[in-house]
Structure formats: structure tokens, C-alpha cells
Chains A and B, each alone.
Chain A
Amino acid sequence: MEDEEGVVKKFLYLNRKAPYGSIYALESLEVVLIGAAFEQDVSLAFIDDGVYQLKKGQQTSVSTGIGVKDFSKTYRALEGYDVEKLYVDKKSLEERGLSTNDLLVDVEVLDDAQMAELMEQQDVVLSF
């Protein structure tokens, strides 16, 4: 499903919301998965409560806990879709008492300046 003209744009998925309390985390991930087929230059940024989307140990299922499907392993499947650029905001992690050890995938932690630089390079920003 590659674009005929071979246009490759830089797409940034901006994730700032916690998982489960609303559908944004899950549905934005669905865009990433479908979008992967278009072979664009994709980055995912997790800022504010968005960092919680990557928290290890999410425990729920349709029949247990909150009765909602656990979609967290999908973040681990992203690599298989060639979506490997996952960036986490340093301040958001720290103010939540989290470190990369708490996360279920490998990410690159960026400070304000680095994240701003990443954002500056983007062509399309999808916010959810």
C-alpha cells in the first residue's frame, strides 16, 4: 500500500492520555498499526499521562479485573511493523515516579529540548 509517488513524510503520533480511562490510547495505536503499511517515517511520542500507556504489568481482560481487553502487548508488536521510534518525555516520567525500568518496551527518553527538536522535524502530527 505504498504511495504511488513514493512520498515519505514524517508522522508523529502524540500520546498524552492514560490508557483505559478513555479509548484514545487504544484507537491511536490502531492508527499506528494501519499506518505502518504506508511505510512513512513514524515516531511515537509519549508525554504527560501518555507515558502510562507503556507501563509494565497491565492486568485486565474481558472477563477479569475491569473487564476490558489488555492491549498493552500491542506496543511490543510495533517493532514487527517497523515502528521503532518510541520517545518518552523525561519530565513526564520523573514527575510520575517512573523510570524506563517500569516500561514494557524500549524507548528513548528525551528532555524538553530534544523533544522540541523531534517535533520541529515532523510533517504531520496526529493528536488523539
Chain B
Amino acid sequence: MNRYQLSINAPVVLTQTGASITVIIHFSFFKGEVHTMKFAVLVNEGPYQHQASDSAYQFTRAALEKGHEIFRVFFYHDGVNNASRLTVPPQDDRHIVNRWSELAKQHNLDLVVCIAAAQRRGMLDENEAKRHGKDANNIAEGFRISGLGQLIEAGIQSERLVVFGD
């Protein structure tokens, strides 16, 4: 939720040679949070098995609500399983994968799944599946597979990196 403030400065200047009045009006828009920061999030565990993914999700949502930018959410170790398109969790509890997909869509988030960790655990997108001669792919909407360099880059480009794991 972004809060905006309108600020108007209107100095009045009277010139000597007439009755002209110059009014300068400055419009400034302020977001409710003055300090917007770039955060990176690392998720080391899979959905449901540990609370890591849930905590990361709640943290990410809270950060976005405060007007911060989430540079990237990187999924490593079993965290790659958060990208599975095939999960069918019980209907009366949270749908972890979909929650991430929806948040990503809503806020244009970059959800990155580590390729090496993904390959080990059988998480393949269409390209990867073709490349390795597999008969299926299973990456959910909003996630993309990429290299570990994306994690390091996130650490370099963001102002804060928060790790959720076990």
C-alpha cells in the first residue's frame, strides 16, 4: 500500500515595476516510507517441510507493503521445490507455490530457482526438460531457472540480503 503526500510551496514574489505576482508552486509527491530499500531474499528450504518459505513469504509481503523493493527472491537447496507446478496441498491450508506466483505477478517479483540445485531435485522448466531428454517439466508460473550468479548479483545489488533456512 503506497501512501502519497502532496506538498505545495508557494513563495510569492512582487516585482518593483508592476503588480505582477510570480507564484512558484512546487509539487512533491512523497511515499509514506521515506527510505525505500532494495532487499534480496534467500530461501533454503522447500514448501511445508520447514517454515522457511512461509517466513520468507511473510517477510517479502511486509517489505513490499512498506514500499521497499524486492530485488530478487532466490531459491536454493530444497528451496527450489517452492517452484513446483505440481503441488496439490490440502484446500484448507495455504498454497505455498501459488502464493509466491501470485505475489510475483502482483509486484513483478524476480523469483529465481538455482539451476544446479533444481537439476539435482528434478525441477525442470521446458528448456531444461528438452535439453536433458526428460518427458515433463514442472516449473510454476512466476519462477525462472538461472545460475548461482544471480544470488551473488542479488547480494551485490541489494542493500540487504535476508536468509531463510533450517
Contacts and interface: CB of A to CB of B under 8 A. Distances in A.
Interface of A: 1, 3, 7, 9, 11, 23-24, 27, 30-31, 34-35, 37-38, 40, 123-128
Interface of B: 42, 44, 76-77, 116-117, 147-149, 151-153, 155-157, 161, 163, 165
A34 B147 contact: yes
Contact of A126 (B116, B149, B163): B163
19 contacts: A1-B149, A3-B153, A3-B157, A11-B152, A24-B77, A27-B77, A30-B148, A31-B152, A34-B147, A34-B148, A35-B151, A38-B152, A123-B155, A124-B155, A124-B156, A125-B161, A126-B155, A126-B163, A128-B44
Contacts of B165: 127-128
A2 to B, nearest CB: 10
A9 B149 contact: no
A23 B165 CA distance: 13
A62 B102 CA distance: 41
Nearest to A127: B163
Contacts, number: 53
Contacts of B151: 31, 35, 126
B147 A3 contact: no
Nearest to A36: B152
Contacts of A124: 155-156, 161
B32 to A, nearest CB: 28
Closest 4 CB pairs of A and B: A34-B148, A124-B155, A35-B152, A127-B163
Contacts of A9: 155-156
B150 to A, nearest CB: 10
A24 B42 CA distance: 14
A38 B117 CA distance: 20
B38 to A, nearest CB: 13
Contact of A125 (B77, B147, B163): B163
Contacts of B76: 27, 31
A11 B156 CA distance: 9
B156 A38 contact: yes
Contacts of B149: 1, 34-35, 37-38
